[in-house]
Structure 1
């Protein structure tokens, strides 16, 4: 666990509760068109769009993202463990990481050989890896 203040630890728990109650934000016409079910949120922009205007009955059960659904500012963007995530592509990238605040996430495009080298170097530098190789 990263070195966090008591306030940040409390806010991480609050964030977990907020995110568990957050609805799934869908595309406007996701019920009518199959291909729109795969898409994520798109803001309704039509001039006469009833959902954009929030006219009653037309948008019940569908939500617009708003600041009410966001995480507390102190813990926004942090991993649930409390670390900041840093994407790593090679061994050199590990030198830029502060092991007390940040943790490494190895990019998906990195092959096994280089991944093992990164993990060895991270162990020497006491850096946490968020997605280690399964052995």
Structure 2
């Protein structure tokens, strides 16, 4: 194939298409029990007579290896950048704006988040979760 950038774009597009086709995996009997509807999440079916575990026709799909994305882009941001969590403005010096995308840490307060955001933008970083400032 071509250069790394072209390969990366190809695999990012492939991952996006695969994600469109991937079903939403939900636990067995989520459609019957109200207590499961409130918390839609995956739980592996383990019952001896469980039809979903046996992968019978007419039952929801089970999580399998084949639904996983390409290794080249696994864990990357949709733009192809490596996500990094930053808690101080000084941490930005460790990273390259061309390769990394910044996520401001969840435990960082608004004042410090604005400071990190300004520093990141001035250094040429993309910030995935800019602070929400209400005026």
Query: Same fold judged by TM-score > 0.5?
Result: yes
| Distance of 1:83 and 1:46 partners within structure 2 | 42
Q: 1:61-96, CA deviations, whole angstroms, 9 ceiling, x for partnerless residues?
A: x11122222211111111111111111222233233
1:86 counterpart residue number: 84
1:21-100 equivalent positions in 2, closer than 5 A? 21-37=21-37, 38-57=39-58, 59=59, 62-100=60-98
CA contact (8 A) 1:97 1:103 kept: no
Gaps of 5+ in 1: none
Q: Distance in 1 between matches of 2:11 and 2:67?
A: 14
User: What is the rounded CA distance, in whole Å, between the counterparts of 1:75 and 1:123 in structure 2?
Assistant: 25
Residues 46-74 of structure 1: CA deviation (Å, up to 9, x unaligned): 233222122444x2xx1112222221111
What is the RMSD computed on CA atoms of the aligned residues? 1.8
Tell me the TM-score normalized by structure 2: 0.83
Larger RCO: Structure 1 or Structure 2 (Cα < 8 Å, ≥ 6 residues apart)? 1
- Residue 21 (structure 1) shift: 1.4
Work out the CA distance in 2 between the residues paired with 1:129 and 1:71. 24
* Alignment-derived partner of residue 121 in structure 2: 123
Contact in 1 for aligned 2:55/2:61 (Cα 8 Å): no
1:113 correspondence with 2:119: no
| Structure 1 runs, 4 residues or longer, greater than 3 Å off | none
- How many residues align structurally? 129
Could you tell me how far 1:134 is from its partner in structure 2?
Answer: 4.6
